[in-house]
Amino acid sequence: TCMAMVGKRRLLSTGSQENQYNLIKDRYDGCQIIMGNLEITQIESNWDFSFLKTIREVTGYILIAMNHFEEIPLGQLRVIRGNSLYERRFALSVFFNYPKDGSSGLRQLGLANLTEILQGGVQIINNKYLNYGPWIFWQDIIRDSSAPIAIRLNGDKGQCWDLTKTVCAPQCSGRCFGTSPRDCCHTECAAGCKGPLDVDCFACRLFNDSGACVPHCPQNLIYNKQTFQMETNPNAKYQYGSICVSQCPTHFVVDGSSCVSVCPPGKMEVVREGHRQCELCSGLCPKVCEGTGAEHRQTVDSSNIDSFINCTKIQGSLHFLVTGILGDAFKKIPPLDAKKLEVFHTVREITDILNIQSWPKELNDLSVFSSLTTIQGRSLYKRFSLMVMHIPTLTSLGLRSLQEISDGSVYISQNVKLCYHHTVNWTQLFRGRSVRVNNLSNNKPRAECVAEGHVCDLLCSDSGCWGPGPDQCVSCRNYSRGGTCVSSCNFYAGSVFTSTFLMLRCVACHQECKPQHGKPSCTGPVSSYNYTRTFWPSDLISTLASIWLFSHP
């Protein structure tokens, strides 16, 4: 069985007839089941569509519009599932199939084997020459009794469908292969059947498991009635469209018991033992986004700011130029709303450079980048990877999470109100890799900053700070709890939020620990804390790993 994965295509496509025809042929040639929609539009006569004759099932909708052929070549088609609908209503939509000038066009539908539309309705309108076909008893075919049926044209001929539903005995819940009460199809059948069994169906209502129609594919866990236990099913299968398969096809990912083309929101693709599968993200799912700097995307501006929503990594650079912040009358791009810059709160990594040459006047720091930990500097501007210049409103950088500038130097210059940047131990951020020469000229003089009290919080270490307060330290003098420096971990506070001491960080006791008064509530952050354990929870391992990295630059 061949499958064609088909996405949504726009009705008005451009390109020559030949391109259009080849596109359709490439997509559907040899297919029996179309996973997705079947769209045939704007095809003039004389093209050979016999390759569509193999199609038995379409999982989405069928759209036949603005073509000039005389018959829809879909004689084998039995089922339209309508998992997606055209204009949100129609599983089958046939309109305007005749040329503006000329005397031929679609004359008959030719869907003689179509007996089931599982969801959605039918629209057949404005087909000037259509005679045979539309006068089918559509109620017999359309399962959803509330689905719309829009049939409009002149003429009244033809009726050559086999009824499979309305003629059935009342005992049949669905379709039948004869009029007697013994002639009911199996309840899992769609489109009718040739006998009473689940292997006699013309098509399956839900899933096809090696020829038998079943309500769900063989599941991963099955109940053992003897042992009263759930057991792993060695014959479990995944659902792939309307078929049960023991392995997902290449390019598909396992999500639970299904094969999907992309993981759903909130999950990300991982490879486990050579198999691709979807797993829940802890927090925001990783999302890599294109940066700015290319000709069509020179600066962050109001026209592209939404492309940065939920990005965790910028592939490339971020440039903030005056044409982006204040707008570009020439290119008709309006000014950028300062609130919109909040989207950058999710960015943790930039692979190239961060270049800020213009900034909204409402903002006096760069704290929209408060999650940014790494600027890689893979390609540099001159020799710089962090540039902040001529921002008159800037009083502090506010890059509280920045821990590493992997390559390139820092250019922070001509920001007349800027303080705190003098305090930062940039060498530490460079991790000792290569010699770098910063240019930190013509900002507010250090002496003036100190005189005005713009100095680091006492809880910050000598590595400096990004701005005022204990949450802007590059590192802590004592301990850090949730990114803020504290003088001690309150072992003895006794509340559920009691913290404990793990190297330099305070980590809350596990929530199962009973708060103790006047003594520590726990000796570590997990409910059964034991240094000899071979299995450690992954969040603890990553905490330890990041502490280790931090103390071993």
Ligand X SMILES: *[C@@H]1O[C@H](CO)[C@@H](O)[C@H](O)[C@H]1NC(C)=O
Provide the residue count of the chain.
553
- Smallest separation (angstroms) from ligand X to the CB of 82: 17
- What is the spatial distance between Cα 135 and Cα 115, in angstroms, rounded to a whole number? 14
Those residues whose C-beta lies under 8 Å from the C-beta of residue 14, and which sit 6 or more positions away, are none
The distance of closest approach from Cβ of residue 514 to ligand X in the complex, given in angstroms and rounded to an integer, is 34
Residue 413 C-beta: closest distance to ligand X, Å: 5
**Nearer Cβ to ligand X (115/299):** 115
Nearest CB to ligand X, comparing residues 45 and 307: 307
In the complex, the smallest distance separating the C-beta of residue 276 from ligand X, rounded to whole angstroms, is 21
Q: Which is nearer to ligand X, 357 or 413 (CB)?
A: 413
Q: Considering only CA atoms, which of 122, 145, 131, 120 is closest in space to residue 97?
A: 131
Residue number with CB closer to ligand X (76 or 523): 76
| Shortest CB 110 distance to ligand X, Å | 7
Nearest distance from residue 191's CB to ligand X, in Å? Answer: 8
- The rounded distance, in Å, linking the Cα atoms of 96 and 116 is 24
Q: How far is the CB of 134 from ligand X (least distance, A)?
A: 17
Is residue 417 within 8 A of residue 386, CB to CB? The reply is no
- On whether the CB atoms of residues 386 and 405 are closer than 8 A, the answer is yes
Name the minimum Å distance from CB 284 to ligand X. Answer: 6
Comparing CB distances to ligand X, the nearer of 75 and 327 is 75
Residue type at 410? V
Q: Which is nearer to ligand X, 159 or 224 (CB)?
A: 159
Q: How far is the CB of 52 from ligand X (least distance, A)?
A: 11
- Closer residue to ligand X, CB minimum distance, 1 or 478: 1
Q: By C-beta, is 33 or 489 nearer to ligand X?
A: 33
Burial of 19 (0-12, 13-18, 19+ CB in 10 A): exposed
Q: Report angle CA 136, 141, 142 to the nearest 5 degrees.
A: 115
Beta bridge partners of 318: 354
Q: Which is nearer to ligand X, 172 or 410 (CB)?
A: 410
CA-to-CA separations, 507 to 395, 483, 495, 529, in angstroms, rounded: 32, 11, 13, 13
DSSP category for residue 48: -
Least Å distance, CB 310 to ligand X, is: 4
**Alpha-carbon span 549 to 90, nearest angstrom:** 58
Pairing of strands 38-41, 62-65: parallel
Nearer residue to ligand X within complex by CB, 247 or 530: 247
Which of residues 358 and 499 has its CB atom nearest to ligand X in the complex? 358
Q: Nearest Cα to 446, choosing from 464, 432, 469? A: 464
Give how far the C-alpha of residue 375 lies from the chain's centroid of Cα atoms, to the nearest Å: 25
Q: To which residue do tokens 């006068």 refer? A: 135
Task: Give the residue closest to ligand X by C-beta.
Answer: 75
DSSP H or E segment with residue 230 = strand 229-232
Q: Which is nearer to ligand X, 308 or 369 (CB)?
A: 308
Give dist(CA 181, CA 193) in Å, integer: 14
User: What is the closest distance, in whole angstroms, from the C-beta atom of residue 536 to ligand X in the complex?
Assistant: 28
> How many Å apart are CA 48 and CA 278, to the nearest integer?
41
Residue 371 to residues 18, 377, 488, Cα–Cα distance (Å): 51, 17, 24
Residues that bind ligand X in the complex, under the rule CB under 6 A: 1, 75-76, 112-113, 201, 203-204, 208, 211, 213, 309-310, 413, 425, 427-428, 439, 441, 462
Query: Cβ contacts of residue 175 below 8 Å, gap of 6+?
Result: 115, 116, 164, 165, 168, 184, 185, 189, 190, 191, 192, 193
Nearest distance in Å: CB 424, ligand X: 9
d(CA 483, CA 474): 10
